[in-house]
Structure 1
Amino acid sequence: MTLAPTAVHDETVVDLGSPYDLPRSLGVLQRGHADPSIRIDPGEFLGGARGTPGAGAWLCLRIYTMEDATSPPSELGQATLRLDQLDPSQVRVRVAASSESAAQAAMHRSAGILGCEDDWQDLEFLLDALGDRISLTLAQVRRRHPGVRLPATGALFDELVTATLEQKVTHDQARYAWRNLLRRHGDRPPGTAALTAPEWMRLPLTASQLRAVPSWEWHRLWVQPPLSATVQRMAARAAAVHRLGLSTPVDTFDVQELADQLTAIPGIGVWTVAEALQRSHGAADLPAVGDYHLSAFVGEALTGRRTDDDGMLALLEPFRPHRQRIVRLLKLSGFQHQRMGPKLAPEDHRGR
């Protein structure tokens, strides 16, 4: 671990134009309560038409750039962001960054992180137009949570790493691995006198840092060999991943095309890509096919009966291109499905 470089500070206020729910919008980015890269302060308000004033978040990220479509991506710098919701629709953004250019890029990125570009109006019209019982119920859920948006961090490589660590393991395993990977090998993010990064905060690892983690250390982190091998393969292709992420705007068609390209990396499947793009690009129409519980949850919520991935996609098809937004609404509804499948109880092999 290295100390953060001398940083510069910047500040602005983002007005989202309508009630905003910061903790429920950004909560999908946090991997467990002790995530070293992001923490949400939920505040005291429940959302709805009043938004969530008083809520806030800390997060840090590396910012990559490329001069043109043919130039290799490079790291522009690192940034620490502090987000504070001031009233129902306005969020103050404070940035400490390793350079002036990184600060400007982080400020620009903050709007996407908050979900400013995520527009639910077409889905709201669609639900009203469909008019069936399920659609009207979903419309009611949306009216109860009008401030929820899909964030877009722009950090495709980092989101792919975290999603890879979550493949076919329990949440406890994945969160332990991510938390301790950053604690043991991550850099401190930049800070200033006006904005000091918390002691617990660590930046996501670069590709070279990931490649330097030895095999025995992955074992200590509770990461199975196939998953650590996938992370290493992805680190070897980091330049291509960064290039794809930087050249793909937040657009349904382009994001689907990007998903198809990413699955060409051995060990990266449709579930991993969906989980990553939902967070890096705010992918509104990319549900996580292959999830251990999701298809059963969607089936029970919409029909009262469990289903498989094909059945889930068939149920979500009328809502295209908003299928992931529908999944978010179902999770916001409070519906609890019966988890009657086999419990995944992996053996802890770290001490061997």
Structure 2
Amino acid sequence: MGGAPKPVRAGYAAVPTGVPRQVDAGPGRTRTWAPDGPLDLGLVLGPLRRGPADPTFRALPDGSVWRSTRTPAGPGTLRVSSYGGEVRGEAWGPGAEWLLEQLPEMLGAGDDPDAFAPRHRVVALARHRRPGLRLTRTGLVLESLIPSILEQKVTTDEAYRAWRLLVRKYGEPAPGPASVVGGRMWVMPAPRTWALIPSWEWHRAGVDNKRASTILRAVRVAARLEQAVGMAPEAAQARLEVVPGIGPWTSAETVQRSHGAADAVTVGDLHLPGIVGWALAGDRDADDSVMLSLLEPYAGQRHRAARLILLSGKVPARRAPRMPRGDIGRL
């Protein structure tokens, strides 16, 4: 069973408020899109960032968000900015056209925030304060699956470090204007490249054999896993969980991003049940069964409810750390 006793993040990337500046970056493709309601780029795209030094994600002072990824058409870099109620996307590389085609879905066009009905005051207040929350749908599985596997049963810092080191060493420079974003961004490795990473490099990155083996098994069936984007979230999770080492925690964390799955609540997490239990019932010792019972009124929207609870900031006081930090790469 995939699990991750790690601090649960609310999925928010701080995006400065500014007037997006023009980018002189050579030939690139552009698209504009007008969302039908409030849109907060930091809230929508934040779950795609794996730590503040993620080499595939940048948020710049002018209010723009940059991400690099491996699309079905090849590597691509996307810049997204929002001003005056309109979103502008600019893209570079072989995957540019695919990224721009996917832009509205990535920004929550397929999401329906109005389908959500708060049942608790804390949830209602969080929703009122965060009207720009929409659930992203990237249409890509592996880019969310691999970092989710890296986050199994370790601290977030350890997982972020592993992702950063492996992407920088085995990925490829992202297409587009490195100088504009203050340094080179990177595209995650292709499935075959992941499969060829030597065992000692996994070790140096602090990735134990169990997680490395799970990634290797996943990339061997990468095409089949990517096909899951055409399935309902529940069916997609079932397909992912066929791979040994991928359980409900990992599959939920993946489809939340790849599918925009509003009901894919994360189970098997060390912190989330206590946070939900505390916010909704004053029970900081809640387990998964209690959490699921408390979220039952939000059936169909449980992931959104959990996001709003996390964004509310209503969390129990911290206790002594329960997950020891370890770095096998430095042994």
Q: Same fold (TM over 0.5)?
A: yes
Provide the residue aligned with 2:280 in structure 1.
302
Contact 1:191 1:197 in 2 (8 A): no
User: Deviation at 1:330?
Assistant: 0.6
Q: Does 1:183 align with 2:161?
A: no
SS at 1:350's partner residue? helix
- Comparing both chains, which one has the higher relative contact order based on Cα–Cα distances under 8 Å and sequence gaps of 6 or more? 2
Deviation at 1:140, TM superposition (A): 2.6
**CA spacing shift, 1:198–1:97, aligned 2, 3 Å:** farther
Alpha-carbon deviations, 1:208-241, whole Å to 9, x = none?
Answer: 0101110000000000110001000111111211
Aligned residue for 1:121? Answer: 114
Preserved CA contact (<8 Å) 1:153 1:279:
yes
Could you tell me which of 43, 50, 56 is aligned with 1:31? Answer: 50
Q: Report the CA distance between 1:122 and its aligned residue.
A: 1.2
Asked if 2 retains the 8 angstrom alpha-carbon contact of 1:15 and 1:90, the reply is: yes
What is aligned with 1:209?
A: 193
Inter-partner Cα distance in structure 1 for 2:122 and 2:203: 46
Alignment partner of 2:140 out of 155, 158, 161: 155
Partner of 2:16: none
The answer to whether the aligner puts 1:319 opposite 2:324 as a matched pair is no
TM value normalised by structure 1 = 0.82
Equivalent residue number for residue 104 of structure 2: 111
**241, 245, 260: which is aligned to 1:267?**
245
Q: Deviations over 1:14-57 (max 9, x none)?
A: 2112221111221111111100011234x6xxxxxxxxxx5221
Q: When the two structures are superposed, what TM-score results if normalisation uses the length of structure 2?
A: 0.87
Once residues 192 and 220 of structure 1 are traced to their aligned partners in structure 2, the CA distance between those partners, rounded to angstroms, is: 30
Pairing of 1:95-106 with structure 2 (within 5 A): 95-98=91-94, 102-106=95-99
Shift of residue 13, structure 1, vs aligned partner? 1.6
Alignment partner of 1:283 is 2:265:
no
Deviations 1:51-79 (A, max 9, x none): xxx52211011111xxxxxxxxxxx2221
State which of 86, 90, 97 in structure 2 corresponds to 1:90. Answer: 86
Identity within the alignment, % = 36
Is contact 1:274–1:288 with CA below 8 Å preserved after alignment?
Answer: yes
Q: 1:255 aligns with which of 229, 233, 245?
A: 233
Question: Equivalent residue for 2:71?
Answer: 63
Shift in Å at residue 284 of structure 1? 0.5
Aligned equivalents of 2:220, 2:318: Cα separation in 1: 38
In the aligned structure 2, how far is the partner of 1:314 from the partner of 1:103? 43
Letter in 2 for 1:260: A
8 A contact 1:189–1:197 mirrored in 2: no
- Assess if the C-alpha contact under 8 Å between 2:63 and 2:82 holds in 1: yes
Question: In the alignment, residue 88 of structure 2 is paired with which amino acid?
Answer: R
Which residue pairs with 2:205 in the alignment? 221
The answer to whether 1:233 aligns with 2:217 is yes
User: Which range is displaced more, 267-276 or 12-21?
Assistant: 12-21
Residue from 17, 31, 42 that aligns with 1:12: 31
Contact 1:60 1:202 in 2 (8 A): yes
Distance 1:333 1:346 in 2: 27
The match for 1:140 is 125
Instruction: Note if contact 2:126-2:308 (Cα within 8 Å) is conserved in structure 1.
Output: yes
- Counterpart Cα distance in 2 of 1:235 and 1:141: 38
Residue identity matched to 1:292: L
- Unaligned ranges ≥5, structure 1: 1-6, 44-53, 65-75, 249-253
Q: Distance in 1 between matches of 2:66 and 2:317?
A: 34
In the TM superposition, residue 348 of structure 1 has moved relative to its aligned partner by 2.5
Q: Distance in 2 between matches of 1:55 and 1:274?
A: 30
- SS of residue paired to 2:185: coil
Structure with the greater alpha carbon radius of gyration:
1
C-alpha distance in structure 1 between counterparts of 2:177 and 2:58, whole Å: 19
* 1:339 CA drift (Å): 3.2
Contact 1:278 1:284 in 2 (8 A): yes
**Alpha-carbon distance in structure 2 between the residues aligned to 1:147 and 1:259:** 27
Q: Is 1:8–1:103's contact at 8 Å kept on the other side of the alignment?
A: no
Paired with 2:177 and 2:148, the residues of 1 have a C-alpha distance of 31
